[in-house]
Structure 1
């Protein structure tokens, strides 16, 4: 549906800018640096990354609110932006629905008038009739469960209701693509969690195609069909949530998505799906490898805490088992983290809260080979 090719956005740079790049005539800093991705019909595609990584600039460039330096953006057969050909369709002609971090609710209007506003201000030739406007507004309000509040002043809604109102205002125009820029970040933690499922429900029921921007890893994992992890203006990895989490392609992705243990190692041998590596504390076997390594390659092991089993008794019949001593533990409510010293390493494991081992206890750590991911060292 939407295709983004070699998109770039740069600015004049000061000498101290960390992300500057020399061009033929000046030194420039790239907020977005050669981004490529496609968004499929009916998909919720998430741009995920820390503040300043370029995700919002990418979204604004797609929306037509930023003028990119280079690249091409197309929606089906329609070219929205092409730097090489001098094409740059104005934002109001792209036909997208947008929901921002700020709800931008009209305080002097009712809920109904807030939703009908985009239809009311359409050019006369394209504007629906009064009856159609009323039907479309009421239909959207019913879908997002605000039908009973149509006559209420918009400022009398709760935070979650105002967020749904902003979504309704974007939906009423029946856009081909929805653009959502951190729309839940102003909500409290509990409401934000419930709104994630609400948004996902609406996206599925209405078969919406959407690009969602967030820095919240949990939000991205819960809501997305696919995720693009961004760092310093570039995309580090694109994949389904489970793939991004279990098979990070780079150290940045492994560190940014959840918590992980990182262990430096060198490949000893590759036999079928098994990769044997040498660490400072002995050998381990891995089976998750984004790229097939060769003997002698330096690699980084990424092991999630929940993938490690901790026990006071040895297993002895598994390929990956280390012995160590618990240094500290932390109760997290739904889990307990143990930090275990294994030689010069500190290994974090996450267990059911019923498993609580006091510091100073000798323990045995085991992890299945398929839970050990090799991250290439570039």
Structure 2
């Protein structure tokens, strides 16, 4: 994504005074210039209208962490809040430093909701906004502003939000609440690659498994006429999916994740199949044999013989491209229509692999058209609700046609 001054007139502009600020530029003067502004500001100067749509975490102000942030702000006489708190991260279209009467100010330009705004530090931001009228002593907070991160925003947001408190992830493992997943995949090659606890070795985070399964939760996302909503949270809010998993586990025999136990390996294999087939479907059906999948914005081609491991393949296998989850999840999530519940157990109404084989090229065409329609941004593609709905409808039609 190019960082420049284009379209500034379309932006929401936030301007505030800073105590100190450092502006770092990469590729200065070039088309792919990116800016990083690091600043410390008095909490009283923090603007109250920073966009929050980009922040992945659900905010719970009753937790011990939230209470400690509040206590440090209101009760502590020391000006060390900026040292004890990791601060706020903001994604922006553009950022600049200006001077007014010998004081420094920062201007942040926000253009796209869902891409620009608070990425991390949502609790800190909201608590400051709510309680700053009660703060008597001087308190400062650190703010980072990044520009030009739109193309890999989802990765940035996920990386900054990978910490999930103990009771949300590791405690689930300690309480053996992932055991039925472990049993379901025990015979698969990738079973040993899943990390269920913080700092555990493994190339697959259990959060990703839970997010993928959440796309097939027909209790939360029922396949009912006129009642459709789509599991975009599986792509953009993995911490929320972990919370749902914890809540649903307490439902015992009504736990939708347990109901899909017999389908878990199928679901993961379907995701692997989509990832593996997309390049070929694009080349043969979308580009008529003339286009190169690796030139699509967001797709990373292997270079110098490098290949990418297919995480859920039965045998060790590789692909020549790394496909963004913003492409894969909307397609895989569309196959939720093929799930039904019979006698308290989820099952397929039809073979998902046969339907993918039949309409996969068409779904690929829909995906790429949508990707182009949202400015070739894979993160926007993954959040594009109309795309999720369109793909879901095509799977539904394919199933109904197969029943005639």
**TM-score using structure 1 length:** 0.21
**TM-score using structure 2 length:** 0.20
Higher share of residues assigned helix: 2
Higher share of residues assigned strand: 1
Give the structure with higher Rg (CA). 1
